Amino acid sequence: MTAIALTIAGSDTGGGAGIQADLKTFSALGVYGASVITALTAQNTLGVHGIHDVPSDFVRAQMDAVLSDLKINAIKIGMLGRRDVVSAVAGGLKTWPQRPAVLDPVLVSTSGRTLLADDAIATLITDLIPLATLITPNLPEAARLLGCNEASSRQEVEDQARRLLQFGCEAVLLKGGHSSDSESADLLMTATTLRWFTAPRLPTHNTHGTGCTLSSAITAGLAHGLTLEKAIAAAKVYVTDAIRAADTLSVGAGRGPVHHFQGIWE
Antiparallel, parallel or unpaired: β 134-135 and 171-174? parallel
Tell me if residue 112 is catalytic.
Answer: no
Distances (CA, A) of 53 to 9, 95, 213, 216, 221: 11, 23, 22, 22, 30
Q: Which of 15, 16, 177, 211 is catalytic?
A: 211
Distance CA 139, CA 141 (A): 5
Distances (CA, A) of 198 to 52, 89, 161, 184, 234: 37, 32, 16, 6, 12
Q: Which of 10, 18, 177, 209 is catalytic?
A: 209
Q: Which of 123, 210, 213, 240 is catalytic?
A: 210
Q: Which of 14, 133, 169, 212 is catalytic?
A: 212
Tell me if residue 168 is catalytic.
Answer: no
Tell me if residue 209 is catalytic.
Answer: yes
Q: Which of 24, 76, 175, 236 is catalytic?
A: 175
Tell me if residue 175 is catalytic.
Answer: yes
Distance CA 10, CA 137 (A): 17
Q: Which of 207, 213, 219, 240 is catalytic?
A: 207
Among 146, 258, 139, which residue's Cα sits nearest to residue 187?
Answer: 139
- Print burial letters for 95-128: b (CB count within 10 Å at least 16), e (below 16): ebeebbbbbbbbbebbeeeebbbeebbebbbebb
Active site residues: 175, 207, 209-212
